[in-house]
Protein backbone atom coordinates (compact mmCIF):
# COMPACT_ATOMS: atom_id res chain seq x y z
CA UNK A 1 0.00 0.00 0.00
CA UNK A 2 1.41 3.38 -1.05
CA UNK A 3 -0.44 6.62 -0.37
CA UNK A 4 -3.50 4.64 0.69
CA UNK A 5 -3.71 2.60 -2.53
CA UNK A 6 -2.99 -1.02 -3.25
CA UNK A 7 0.00 -1.28 -5.53
CA UNK A 8 0.49 -4.05 -8.07
CA UNK A 9 3.90 -5.70 -7.91
CA UNK A 10 5.49 -6.72 -11.16
CA UNK A 11 8.72 -8.04 -12.60
CA UNK A 12 10.82 -5.99 -15.04
CA UNK A 13 9.72 -8.20 -17.93
CA UNK A 14 6.07 -7.44 -17.10
CA UNK A 15 6.67 -3.68 -17.06
CA UNK A 16 7.16 -3.61 -20.84
CA UNK A 17 3.67 -5.13 -21.30
CA UNK A 18 2.12 -2.59 -18.91
CA UNK A 19 3.74 0.30 -20.78
CA UNK A 20 2.14 -0.89 -24.03
CA UNK A 21 -1.28 0.07 -22.63
CA UNK A 22 -0.24 3.75 -22.96
CA UNK A 23 -1.87 4.72 -19.66
CA UNK A 24 -0.41 7.09 -17.08
CA UNK A 25 1.94 4.85 -15.14
CA UNK A 26 3.85 5.48 -11.92
CA UNK A 27 6.51 2.94 -11.01
CA UNK A 28 8.04 2.70 -7.57
CA UNK A 29 11.08 0.62 -6.81
CA UNK A 30 14.39 0.60 -5.06
CA UNK A 31 17.34 2.50 -6.50
CA UNK A 32 19.20 0.53 -9.12
CA UNK A 33 16.33 -1.80 -10.03
CA UNK A 34 16.22 -0.45 -13.59
CA UNK A 35 13.03 1.61 -13.63
CA UNK A 36 14.43 4.38 -15.82
CA UNK A 37 16.39 2.00 -18.03
CA UNK A 38 13.35 -0.17 -18.77
CA UNK A 39 11.23 2.86 -19.68
CA UNK A 40 13.93 4.18 -22.03
CA UNK A 41 14.36 0.71 -23.59
CA UNK A 42 10.58 0.49 -24.09
CA UNK A 43 10.53 3.82 -25.94
CA UNK A 44 13.38 2.70 -28.19
CA UNK A 45 11.80 -0.71 -28.85
CA UNK A 46 8.43 0.86 -29.75
CA UNK A 47 9.96 3.66 -31.86
CA UNK A 48 8.61 6.34 -29.53
CA UNK A 49 10.29 9.60 -28.70
CA UNK A 50 10.94 10.18 -25.03
CA UNK A 51 11.34 13.40 -23.10
CA UNK A 52 13.04 12.63 -19.78
CA UNK A 53 12.47 15.26 -17.12
CA UNK A 54 14.44 14.46 -14.01
CA UNK A 55 12.50 16.19 -11.26
CA UNK A 56 15.35 15.84 -8.78
CA UNK A 57 17.10 18.59 -10.74
CA UNK A 58 14.09 20.89 -10.85
CA UNK A 59 14.58 22.24 -7.34
CA UNK A 60 15.33 25.95 -6.97
CA UNK A 61 18.48 25.09 -5.02
CA UNK A 62 19.77 23.01 -7.93
CA UNK A 63 19.46 25.85 -10.41
CA UNK A 64 21.23 28.57 -8.48
CA UNK A 65 18.69 29.90 -6.02
CA UNK A 66 15.12 31.05 -5.97
CA UNK A 67 13.74 31.75 -9.46
CA UNK A 68 13.09 35.32 -10.59
CA UNK A 69 9.35 34.70 -10.95
CA UNK A 70 6.94 33.01 -8.62
CA UNK A 71 7.78 29.35 -8.30
CA UNK A 72 4.69 28.17 -10.19
CA UNK A 73 5.31 30.52 -13.11
CA UNK A 74 8.93 29.45 -13.18
CA UNK A 75 8.11 25.74 -13.44
CA UNK A 76 5.41 26.35 -16.04
CA UNK A 77 7.95 28.28 -18.10
CA UNK A 78 10.69 25.70 -17.57
CA UNK A 79 8.53 22.74 -18.62
CA UNK A 80 7.10 24.72 -21.55
CA UNK A 81 10.63 25.11 -22.88
CA UNK A 82 11.51 21.46 -22.23
CA UNK A 83 8.32 20.19 -23.86
CA UNK A 84 8.52 22.40 -26.97
CA UNK A 85 9.29 19.44 -29.29
CA UNK A 86 6.43 17.44 -27.78
CA UNK A 87 4.00 20.32 -28.41
CA UNK A 88 5.17 20.56 -32.03
CA UNK A 89 4.15 16.90 -32.55
CA UNK A 90 0.91 17.38 -30.59
CA UNK A 91 2.29 14.74 -28.19
CA UNK A 92 1.84 12.01 -30.76
CA UNK A 93 4.27 9.10 -30.36
CA UNK A 94 5.88 10.72 -27.28
CA UNK A 95 6.46 9.50 -23.74
CA UNK A 96 6.90 12.24 -21.17
CA UNK A 97 8.91 10.59 -18.41
CA UNK A 98 9.08 12.28 -15.01
CA UNK A 99 12.04 10.54 -13.40
CA UNK A 100 12.63 10.81 -9.66
CA UNK A 101 9.13 12.24 -9.29
CA UNK A 102 9.10 12.10 -5.51
CA UNK A 103 12.28 14.15 -5.24
CA UNK A 104 10.40 17.15 -6.58
CA UNK A 105 9.37 20.01 -4.36
CA UNK A 106 5.70 20.64 -3.49
CA UNK A 107 5.74 23.61 -5.88
CA UNK A 108 6.67 21.27 -8.72
CA UNK A 109 3.91 18.83 -7.75
CA UNK A 110 1.38 21.66 -8.05
CA UNK A 111 2.39 22.26 -11.67
CA UNK A 112 1.97 18.61 -12.71
CA UNK A 113 -1.78 18.18 -12.25
CA UNK A 114 -2.78 19.23 -15.77
CA UNK A 115 -0.03 17.37 -17.60
CA UNK A 116 -0.73 14.16 -15.63
CA UNK A 117 -4.49 14.22 -16.13
CA UNK A 118 -5.54 10.60 -16.69
CA UNK A 119 -7.85 11.22 -19.65
CA UNK A 120 -5.91 12.22 -22.74
CA UNK A 121 -8.51 14.65 -24.06
CA UNK A 122 -8.17 16.76 -20.89
CA UNK A 123 -4.37 16.51 -20.58
CA UNK A 124 -2.85 19.94 -21.14
CA UNK A 125 0.20 21.97 -20.30
CA UNK A 126 0.32 25.77 -20.45
CA UNK A 127 -2.44 25.87 -23.06
CA UNK A 128 -1.06 23.02 -25.19
CA UNK A 129 -2.89 19.73 -25.62
CA UNK A 130 -0.95 16.60 -24.72
CA UNK A 131 -3.84 14.23 -25.40
CA UNK A 132 -1.67 11.90 -27.50
CA UNK A 133 1.34 11.72 -25.16
CA UNK A 134 1.87 8.94 -22.63
CA UNK A 135 2.85 10.11 -19.14
CA UNK A 136 5.17 7.85 -17.14
CA UNK A 137 6.79 8.57 -13.78
CA UNK A 138 9.25 6.70 -11.60
CA UNK A 139 10.28 7.16 -8.00
CA UNK A 140 11.76 5.51 -4.98
CA UNK A 141 9.96 4.51 -1.81
CA UNK A 142 9.36 7.47 0.50
CA UNK A 143 8.87 5.30 3.60
CA UNK A 144 12.59 4.79 4.23
CA UNK A 145 12.81 1.12 3.20
CA UNK A 146 15.14 2.16 0.39
CA UNK A 147 17.49 3.91 2.80
CA UNK A 148 16.72 7.21 1.04
CA UNK A 149 15.34 9.92 3.30
CA UNK A 150 15.04 12.99 1.06
CA UNK A 151 11.87 11.95 -0.75
CA UNK A 152 8.45 13.60 -0.71
CA UNK A 153 5.08 11.87 -0.71
CA UNK A 154 3.10 12.70 -3.83
CA UNK A 155 -0.12 14.55 -3.00
CA UNK A 156 -3.03 12.11 -3.16
CA UNK A 157 -4.76 13.88 -6.10
CA UNK A 158 -1.56 13.69 -8.18
CA UNK A 159 -0.86 10.09 -7.11
CA UNK A 160 -4.40 9.11 -8.13
CA UNK A 161 -3.77 10.26 -11.70
CA UNK A 162 -1.59 7.19 -12.32
CA UNK A 163 -1.86 3.43 -12.41
CA UNK A 164 0.67 2.58 -9.70
CA UNK A 165 3.10 -0.34 -9.76
CA UNK A 166 6.02 -1.56 -7.70
CA UNK A 167 8.95 -3.00 -9.60
CA UNK A 168 10.08 -6.11 -7.78
CA UNK A 169 12.78 -7.96 -9.69
CA UNK A 170 13.87 -11.43 -8.73
CA UNK A 171 17.47 -12.01 -7.64
CA UNK A 172 18.22 -13.28 -11.13
CA UNK A 173 16.68 -10.14 -12.72
CA UNK A 174 18.73 -7.92 -10.39
CA UNK A 175 21.95 -9.85 -10.94
CA UNK A 176 21.55 -9.77 -14.74
CA UNK A 177 20.63 -6.09 -14.80
CA UNK A 178 23.55 -5.04 -12.60
CA UNK A 179 26.01 -7.30 -14.42
CA UNK A 180 25.05 -5.65 -17.72
CA UNK A 181 25.04 -2.16 -16.21
CA UNK A 182 28.51 -2.57 -14.66
CA UNK A 183 30.02 -4.98 -17.20
CA UNK A 184 33.16 -2.85 -17.63
CA UNK A 185 34.15 -3.27 -13.99
CA UNK A 186 36.35 -6.36 -13.52
CA UNK A 187 34.89 -7.30 -10.12
CA UNK A 188 31.37 -7.65 -11.55
CA UNK A 189 30.63 -11.11 -12.87
pLDDT at 36 over 50: yes
**Residue 144, burial from CB neighbour count under 10 angstroms (0-12, 13-18, 19+):** exposed
The reply to whether the predicted model has a pTM over 0.85 is no
pLDDT at 155 over 80: yes
Question: Which of 58-72, 84-98, 145-159, 164-178 shows the lowest mean pLDDT across its residues?
Answer: 58-72
Q: What is the mean pLDDT of the chain?
A: 80
Instruction: For residues 79 and 66, give the distance between their C-alpha atoms in angstroms, rounded to a whole number.
Output: 17
Residue 7 to residues 4, 17, 89, 90, 164, Cα–Cα distance (Å):
9, 17, 33, 31, 6
Percent of all residues in the chain with a pLDDT value above 90, rounded to a whole number: 24
Give the torsion sign (CA, 170, 176, 177, 179): positive
Query: How confident is the model at residue 97, as a pLDDT?
Result: 95
Amino acid sequence: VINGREVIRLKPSELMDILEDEENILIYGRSGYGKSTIIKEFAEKMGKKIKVINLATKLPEAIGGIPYATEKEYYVELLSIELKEVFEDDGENWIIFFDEINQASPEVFNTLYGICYPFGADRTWAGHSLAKAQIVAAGNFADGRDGVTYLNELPTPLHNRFFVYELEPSKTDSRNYLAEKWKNIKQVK
